[in-house]
Amino acid sequence: MRCPFCAHAEDKVVDSRESKEGDAIRRRRECLACGRRFTSYERVEEFPLLVVKKDGRREAFDRNKLLRGLSIACQKRPVSLEKLEEATSDIQARLLERPDRELPSRELGELVMDTLKHLDSVAYVRFASVYRDFKDLPDFVRALEEALMHRDSKSEAYPDLPPKPRHVPASTGQERPLFPTDEPPPRRSRTK
């Protein structure tokens, strides 16, 4: 292997070990000319997985791009980098199990949203708002309701969230609707 520092073609392997996932072999090498060390990875050659975009373009699947997207959705959330990498590996493994090598971007986005739904509900809504291109508040409410339904059905996935209330307070008739109608608000009379 060519040395990245001096371009000499001869080196010796100093250390060799399998990666955590078992999908690569990491080798520490030492250049015989300059004596500097560098790392190389040996992986099984696979046929590339292509993501078919909405406009028909095909783009090679990029694991780092997926990890970046998950990281952005989970920014300032209590989700560790280890959990993000685990989620990324899980998504990638599920994609590689597919018999076809082309994947519509819509399916990839749905897979990411499903993973985020199990990982963090706020990250799920963040990702969904961008992925589904929310235009107004009702879109957000639908995503929130979906996340809450998932939380209620899988409460062990979200131990830090408060439990669902056991009863709903009786209506006082003074509540304002979440989404006002097109009717103008009632006028208040001024008394002096």
Q: For 169-190, write each residue's pLDDT tens digit.
A: 454 555 555 455 555 556 666 6
Quote the domain boundaries for residue 38: 11-43
Residues 6 or more apart whose CB falls under 8 angstroms from that of 138 comprise 179
> Which SS3 state, helix, strand or coil, does residue 121 take?
helix
Do 74 and 16 share a structural domain? Answer: no
Residue of 153, 127, 151 lying closest to 140 (CA atoms): 127
| pTM of the predicted structure, to 2 decimals | 0.52
How many Cα atoms sit within 13 Å of 141 on the Cβ side?
A: 5
Smallest CA-to-CA distance from 115 within 85, 159, 156, 75 is with 85
Is 58 a residue whose pLDDT tops 90? yes
Question: Can you give the pLDDT at residue 134?
Answer: 66
Please report where in the chains the tokens 């963040």 appear, as a residue.
126
Report yes or no on 37 lying in a domain: yes
- Answer yes or no: is 23 within a domain: yes
Region 125-143 average pLDDT: 73
Q: Is 158 exposed, middle or buried (0-12, 13-18, 19+ CB in 10 A)?
A: middle
Domain count for the chain: 2
**Does the pLDDT at position 166 exceed 90?**
no
CA distances (Å), origin 98, targets 110, 114, 175: 15, 17, 51
Specify whether 19 is located in the same domain as 64.
no
State residue 155's pLDDT score.
Answer: 46
Look at residue 182 in the predicted model and tell me its pLDDT.
53
By DSSP bridging, strand 24-31 and strand 11-18 are antiparallel
Query: Same domain, yes or no, for 83 and 116?
Result: yes
Query: Residue 64 CB: number of other CB atoms within 10 A?
Result: 8
Where residue 153 falls among pLDDT bands split at 50, 70, 90? Answer: low
